[in-house]
Amino acid sequence: MTSAIRPQHHPEQLPRRMIVIDGIDGSGKGVQSRHLLQAFIDAGESTILTREPGGSPAAEDIRQLLVKGDPDKWDAMTELLLMYASRRTHLRDTIWPALAAGKWVISDRYADSSRAFQGIAGKLGLQTVEQVHRLVVGDFEPALVIILDLPETIALERTRARGDDEDRFENKGGDYHARVRAAFRQIAATDPTLYRVIDANREISEVNADITQTINTHFELQLKALQGSR
């Protein structure tokens, strides 16, 4: 892909138009990201929705290694390296070219998942994640990170009801997910200008209204929230 922005082209100077929706498994990121994409499109804004792990053809190949099989198949360090291999190709092939083309990018998960899952819940430590992050990603940052927060017990119920085979992380147990939830809250508290925590233990339309308002305020946009349920 010759048009892709290469790291030497200073991705940290790209327009600050990347929004991340992150949080524990079952927090409703998927549905909220899709509604947000629709709101941007309805407002006439050129926007892509992407996800991690995955988000480009090669990164989706790596995703398959990560999300299926025995929870102990990889240790936290191997998970981290696979996540960052996937993130690197996602940035190079999807995110950076979209930002360079003037589009908004909405990502269902990004680097804070590595900090929360591998760094804190997986006990590698945030410093280790930061070292890898710096090496692989450099100074590039999203503009806003929305953390959807709710008790992990309720969230895990939701994921079980979904019943797909991408359950490797879900099977890591309640203690692991309690640490993930606490980790996201801890990370969000480090930088209130970048992070917003939103209560996700509510109706889809209420969470959507909160997300829409947060984005409108931050970017001076006038996106419309869902009317009731859709």
Q: Counting contacts by CB under 6 A, is residue 181 touching ligand TYD?
A: no
- Asked if residues 27 and 155 have their Cβ atoms less than 8 Å apart, the reply is yes
What's the burial of 109, exposed, middle or buried (CB within 10 Å: 0-12/13-18/19+)? buried
User: Cis peptide before 192, with omega less than 30 degrees from 0?
Assistant: no
Bridge partners (DSSP) listed for residue 195 = 145
CA–CA gap between residue 209 and residue 195 (Å, rounded)? 17
Tell which one of 114, 142, 145, 183 touches ligand TYD (CB under 6 A). 114
Task: Give the number of other CB atoms < 10 A from CB of residue 107.
Answer: 24
Q: Counting contacts by CB under 6 A, is residue 67 touching ligand TYD?
A: yes
Closer residue to ligand TYD in complex, CB, 164/220 = 164
Q: Counting contacts by CB under 6 A, is residue 113 touching ligand TYD?
A: yes
How many residues are recorded in the chain?
230
For the CA atoms of the chain, what is the radius of gyration? 17
Binding piece for ligand TYD, criterion CB under 6 A, among 41-49, 99-107, 113-121, 210-218: 113-121
User: At residue 52, what are phi and psi to the nearest 5 degrees?
Assistant: -135, 155
CA–CA gap between residue 133 and residue 9 (Å, rounded)? 18
What is the 3-class SS of 186-211, one letter each residue?
Answer: HHHHCCCCCEEEEECCCCHHHHHHHH
Closer residue to ligand TYD in complex, CB, 25/152 = 25
Q: Counting contacts by CB under 6 A, is residue 30 touching ligand TYD?
A: yes
Closer residue to ligand TYD in complex, CB, 113/208 = 113
Please tell me the count of residues contacting ligand TYD according to CB under 6 A.
14
Binding piece for ligand TYD, criterion CB under 6 A, among 96-104, 114-122, 206-214, 216-224: 114-122
Closer residue to ligand TYD in complex, CB, 10/85 = 85
Shortest spacing between CB 147 and ligand TYD, in angstroms: 13
Tell which one of 11, 53, 97, 119 touches ligand TYD (CB under 6 A). 53
Tell which one of 40, 104, 117, 140 touches ligand TYD (CB under 6 A). 117
Q: How many CA atoms lie within 13 A of 35 on its CB side?
A: 23
Residues that bind ligand TYD (CB under 6 A): 25, 30, 52-53, 67, 83, 108-109, 113-114, 117-118, 159, 169
